[in-house]
Amino acid sequence: MRKTRPYKAFLGFVIAAMLGAPLAAEAKTTRIKDIVEIEGVRDNMLVGYGLVVGLNGSGDSLGNSPFTQQSLIAMLERLGVNTRGQKLNTGNVAAVMVTSTLPPFTNQGSRIDVTISALGDADSLQGGTLLVTPLMGADGEIYAVAQGPVNIAGYSATGEAATIIQNIPTTGRIAGGAIVERELELQLADYDQIRLALRNPDFTTSRRIAKAINGFISSPAAVAENAASVRLKKPASYTGTIVDLITDIEQLPIQPDQVARVVIDERSGVIVMGADVRISTVAIAQGNLTIKITETPQVSQPNPFAEQGQTVVVPRTDIDVNTGDDVRLGVFDSGVTLQDLVTGLNKLGVSPRDMITILQAIKTAGALQAEIETM
């Protein structure tokens, strides 16, 4: 079989990559397939409402969950059992929401996992079985049908004086519990061009991807449209489909670039700083004023057999003030790296909570050459 030009170029690229393996490792490159997504090739969310039966008295109380009772009556009517006007009293049924994700290019008849979540006041879904539940997409069409025994990762045990609950017993999962009934129409092989969407948008990374692709196929087929997307058009000389072209270019190594950023989660005290974070010359001092008040009341009572007097509580208060006399001033020179910054703050004995305040203060002073993103 005659080798086309792209395949010859790809062979040369593989040989060069093998010879220059240490250099590539030093440059910390990443494959294109790991930093981009193909526009239109995505997952689709599915949701459905159903009933879980077979619970050992841990299901919904029908008096507090009218939707469970209505669903149970409607299900029995479909099976030929008329219970309307009857008082139902069972704790073995629970109304649940069923969610799943339909991957792209999933064929009809394939199985996908589903997650079960209790909707009413059920205590546990342990031992339950999900009845036939249609799963719909955002367009209202049914794409899958779920059914099967529910597996949970927790349990609950209740007694008269104590209750033990581990994990969340009202949420479960069925591996391969749904069968795909409708396929998503996406004929990618018929496309002449596609767009590569960057997971972390960046102008430099987008341009590097376009240059790497054009150098590989020896044709200006890729254009960096913006920081988030690269448009790829199949060259006229390329004999394969767009799927073949994607397969060829997704293994190309790219050195991603990123904006210097500091991510702060004030609720948990987590701080994540990128490797390119730099600070200008700045002096930092950190100290805390701590006031500790201790109450140790004492009881004063009259002497035995005294004619007068009464027992009283006498307050005793001890106040301790710590002004942080051992506070030290630290100076950071211009252009210090992330490691220098972390090492310096650790030497000052700064806790993560205080480090958040210090970083925000450095940013306000204009000495932090990075973005601060608060979660």
The confidence band for 334, taking pLDDT boundaries of 50, 70 and 90, is low
Domain boundaries, the chain: 5-41+187-254, 44-180, 262-374
126 is written with which tokens? 């342990």
pLDDT score of 9: 41
Using CA atoms, how far apart are residues 117 and 45, in angstroms rounded to an integer? 15
Mean pLDDT of the chain: 80
pLDDT score of 15: 39
Q: Which of 78-87, 120-129, 152-161, 317-326 has the highest mean pLDDT?
A: 120-129
pLDDT score of 158: 66
Residue with tokens 């299900």: 75
Is 221 within 8 Å of 212 (Cβ atoms)? no
Using CA atoms, how far apart are residues 273 and 372, in angstroms rounded to an integer? 9
pTM, 2 dp: 0.66
**Backbone φ, ψ for residue 109 (5° rounding):** 95, -10
Convert the pLDDT of each residue in 157-215 to its tens digit. Answer: 666 666 777 778 899 999 999 999 998 887 887 888 899 999 999 999 999 999 999 99
- 9: nearest Cα among 205, 221, 198, 204: 221
Convert the pLDDT of each residue in 8-36 to its tens digit. Answer: 443 444 334 333 434 333 457 899 999 99
The strand pairing partners of 277, in sequence order, are none
DSSP H or E segment with residue 232: strand 229-233
Per-residue 3-state assignment (H helix, E strand, C coil) for 299-326: EECCCCCCCCCCCEEECCEEEEEECCCC
Q: Which of 128-142, 180-194, 236-250, 330-344 has the highest mean pLDDT?
A: 128-142
Q: Which are the contacts of 34, defined by CB distance < 8 A and separation ≥ 6?
A: none
Is 273 within 8 Å of 265 (Cβ atoms)? no
Higher-pLDDT residue of 272 and 281 is: 272
